[in-house]
Structure 1
Amino acid sequence: MNLIIREAKIIDPKSPFHNQIVDVQIGNKTIEKIASNLPNPNGFKEIKLDNLHLSEGWFDSSVSLGEPGYEDRETISNGLIVAAKSGFTSIALQPNSYPIIDNQSQINFVKNKANDSATQLFPIGALTKGSEGKDLAEMFDMKNAGAVAFGDYNKNMDNANLLKIGLQYVQDFDGLVIAYAQDSNIKGSGVANEGIVSTRLGLKGIPNLAEELQVARNLFLLEYTGGKLHFPTISSAKSVALIKEAKTKGLQVTSSVAVHHLVLTDEKLDEFDTRFKVSPPLRTDADRKALLAGVLDNTIDMITSDHNPIDIEHKKMEFDMAKNGTIGLESAFGALLTVLPLEKVIEKLTAGKNTFSIENNSIKEGAIANFTLFTPEINWTFTKENILSKSKNSAFLGVAMKGKVYGIFNQGKLVL
């Protein structure tokens, strides 16, 4: 597609046009010219939007969809449209489908499903066969097929020796291990953050300790083995401190935090609404503020929506029985701007590409055109009408938002 984007403010510290309002001309998937008042002698399509801002395309490091096996929750094709309209030019797909994505053929299947999409799909392969935590999966084959990392979604690796062997094994091909941290014995049958709210409501609690013990253990393993380890969706102040200390030692450790843990707290559970049942659970405001501080000082490397569609049959039920998870792609940007400055939001929605070895494309002449279009100033409220996913389990219904996504340009396609 040949295109000229008019009067866009560039938000990209790596670009020579950072913080400038310019026109951007795209031809054959490449940024051809950037300047003010570009002529259009060849009749390129033009777009001009109110208070338009452009940044490098955003990446979400944790997206669950459903296909194969759970197409009633979400399909790959619709999920990628949702991601595009939410501002994401690339996503890392979690392996928690049916069957679990734990072999080369499953990696090929999901990649082929995404071939014609504007948003690129990068699959995460399961770390263990069937994500059962018993035997390592065929990681080298999956890496060759296109897997960008290996982890069992929202499942703790109870077997420390197996995680040790996995960290050693992937070093032969520079692989990335994802280690969700939640001690299953300490969690027990807990369903909410252990604290004042869970006690008041009579809900079984999950203490911060369940996460922090595993973070500490896994960091000890990483220090012993070397390699690269990623902690997804950390939720406690102590986890931030442990990871910060590990980074000062020079360990190759990264982490992400989910949008809902930066914006919401366990106070939302007062009405037993299962939309707020997530894993790890929503924590206290003290934890939320520590997570924000971790984002601001770069202890936490990236922010994810942790988008997890759940069908109504498994969500609209007793709190103890309902499945964990919230959708989050559609609300991610608007929610983040209520708690973080714009440039930090953009930084944390793009930095994950470095960890997952995905190409970065700065906004400069000659670069591949891969960017997100948005406006940061609009104030609005997230409602059901804003949900684009097949599943409607959003923890952000009724939440005040700031800033809206217009769409993306990637793979030679414009999605608005």
Structure 2
Amino acid sequence: MRLLIKGGTVIDPGTGKVVEKDILLADGKIAKIGVNLNAGSAEVLDVSGKLVAPGLIDMHVHLREPGFEAKETIFSGTRAAARGGFTTVACMPNTNPVADNAAIISHIKNTAFVKGTSNVYPIGAISRGSKGEELAEMGDMKEAGAVAFSDDGMPVMNAGLMRRAMQYARMLGLTIISHSEDKNLSAGGAMHEGYMSTVLGLKGIPSSAEEVMVARDILLAEETGCRLHIAHVSTAGSVQLVREAKARGVKVTAEVTPHHFSLNDGAVAGYDTSTKVNPPLRTAADVAAVKDGLADGTIDVIATDHAPHTIEEKDVEYELAPFGLVGLETAVGLVWTELVANGVLTPLQAISKLTINPASVLGISKGTLKTCADADITIIDPATSWTVDPEQFASKGRNTPFTGRQLKGMPYMTIVGGRVVMREGILL
């Protein structure tokens, strides 16, 4: 199949250039990039007024399969990814059973190959069962296709175990992704500890619950030389810890979610359980600090932490609801509305944090536009305004706090391996 993408503005973080060019796709690869390319036998896609970017990468999603298929499946989750403009996702290991061995990693890859709409890269667990008691078979999981290690959803409380995990990960050349939470400080909390938690009568989770673990893992990474990635940064203190570590030369990267730069703890006022996330929505000052971290490069990646739950699970009292919201299908709109439109990031910077930067953290050959690269392309319409309607989601999850929110900027087309899988919100 041959496609010629014409008339768009090409944003390539690999070269750092924003130019008007055509892109020819053939046999699942980028065949040629240039001006006024001849279509020949290729189907022409006129994307005038649109932005043409490398396929977006979400390095932090919960596809829930195996074990929690009522919440999400690889089929539904990758369709949600494609609808949100993501050609590639990396899935966390908190499945049932936990993805802590080569067999489950292989199962996820094989299922994604058969049923997936977007590319799927599994992340293996650090510890057996993500219980934090003994290391999982990290070498075997790498051979099976794991691209990083994390116990996301649960912190590794044992510093000695985390240190050994980092030593092994360094030998294997993979990254440790830290879910930074001290359970002794966060236990029983439902939202950020502060003024709003007092007003609402909900037990709070202090900023220190995140920051002490960020500091610990940075020190361990500095000692071991392991590549460390801090997941879902939410506090001003965490941003500063990462900033200082980078200045010292520590191999640390960090991500932030769209909900942590779009909402603060005031959003919990209506007790909407879709606002119950871990780490919790923080203060307006934390949101400002996170945006500063994005702008100055302290925070490298934007990732959704897409965490679908059933309606029955979320339709309970706030304290009893599970943590998590769905984010794949609202991410681009929130990035453009909150960051690009407000001058926090340029389009090139935003695309970098959604493509080449997560690809670098995971060590995968994705996220750039160059000849012979995989023909994974995301086309974004930066001018279109739209209203979030969870009933239109491809995800099984409907747990979003952005229902009815007017956003500007949306994925117009998603191309995976040279095949158009989504056009104007419709999955093909």
| Paired position in structure 1 for 2:343 | none
Any conservation in 2 of the 1:156–1:180 contact (CA below 8 Å)? yes
Aligned residue for 1:78, secondary structure, equals helix
> 1:75-224 to 2 correspondence within 5 Å?
75-116=73-114, 117-224=116-223
Aligned partner of 1:303: which letter? I
| Paired position in structure 2 for 1:371 | 377
Taking a change above 3 Å as real, the CA distance of residues 106 and 319 of structure 1, as seen in their structure-2 partners, is same
Aligned partner of 1:217: which letter? R
**Structure 1 position 69 matched with structure 2 position 67:** yes
Measure the CA separation in 1 of the matches of 2:414 and 2:14: 19
Any conservation in 1 of the 2:10–2:18 contact (CA below 8 Å)? yes
Per-residue deviation at 1:13? 4.1
Moved more, 378-387 or 269-278: 378-387
Taking a change above 3 Å as real, the CA distance of residues 168 and 19 of structure 1, as seen in their structure-2 partners, is closer
Taking a change above 3 Å as real, the CA distance of residues 365 and 149 of structure 1, as seen in their structure-2 partners, is closer
2:414 to 383, 396, 408: 408
Aligned residue for 1:163, secondary structure, equals helix
**Structure 1 position 6 matched with structure 2 position 12:** no
| Paired position in structure 2 for 1:349 | 354
Any conservation in 2 of the 1:279–1:325 contact (CA below 8 Å)? yes
Q: Deviations over 1:261-309 (max 9, x none)?
A: 0101110111111010000000001000100100111111101011001
Aligned partner of 2:5: which letter? I
Moved more, 327-336 or 174-183: 174-183
Taking a change above 3 Å as real, the CA distance of residues 361 and 305 of structure 1, as seen in their structure-2 partners, is closer
Q: Deviations over 1:4-50 (max 9, x none)?
A: 1221110114349x4333332211122233344433332x2222245
> 1:233-248 to 2 correspondence within 5 Å?
233-248=232-247
Length, aligned pairs only: 414
Aligned partner of 2:67: which letter? G
Per-residue deviation at 1:97? 1.1
Aligned partner of 2:11: which letter? I
Per-residue deviation at 1:361? 5.0
Aligned residue for 1:402, secondary structure, equals strand
Any conservation in 1 of the 2:264–2:281 contact (CA below 8 Å)? yes
Measure the CA separation in 2 of the matches of 1:364 and 1:206: 45
Aligned residue for 1:338, secondary structure, equals helix
Aligned partner of 2:159: which letter? A
Aligned residue for 1:242, secondary structure, equals helix
Measure the CA separation in 1 of the matches of 2:310 and 2:48: 36
Aligned partner of 1:6: which letter? K
Unpaired runs of at least 5, structure 2 = 341-346, 423-428
Per-residue deviation at 1:397? 1.1
TM-score with structure 1 setting the length? 0.96
Per-residue deviation at 1:370? 2.0
Aligned residue for 1:185, secondary structure, equals helix
Aligned residue for 1:101, secondary structure, equals coil
| Paired position in structure 2 for 1:281 | 280
Moved more, 342-351 or 159-168: 342-351
Q: Deviations over 1:365-386 (max 9, x none)?
A: 4443222111111122212244
Aligned residue for 2:246, secondary structure, equals helix
Aligned partner of 2:314: which letter? K
Per-residue deviation at 1:223? 2.2
> 1:4-83 to 2 correspondence within 5 Å?
4-15=4-15, 18-42=17-41, 44-49=42-47, 51-83=49-81
Aligned partner of 1:23: which letter? D
Aligned residue for 1:374, secondary structure, equals strand
Tell me the C-alpha RMSD between the 2 structures: 1.5
Measure the CA separation in 2 of the matches of 1:50 and 1:82: 25
Any conservation in 2 of the 1:177–1:228 contact (CA below 8 Å)? yes
Measure the CA separation in 2 of the matches of 1:55 and 1:74: 27
Moved more, 161-170 or 216-225: 216-225
Any conservation in 2 of the 1:24–1:33 contact (CA below 8 Å)? yes
Aligned partner of 1:266: which letter? D
- Give identity over the alignment, percent: 40
Taking a change above 3 Å as real, the CA distance of residues 143 and 367 of structure 1, as seen in their structure-2 partners, is closer
Per-residue deviation at 1:396? 1.6
Any conservation in 1 of the 2:306–2:324 contact (CA below 8 Å)? yes
Per-residue deviation at 1:111? 0.1
Moved more, 141-150 or 44-53: 44-53
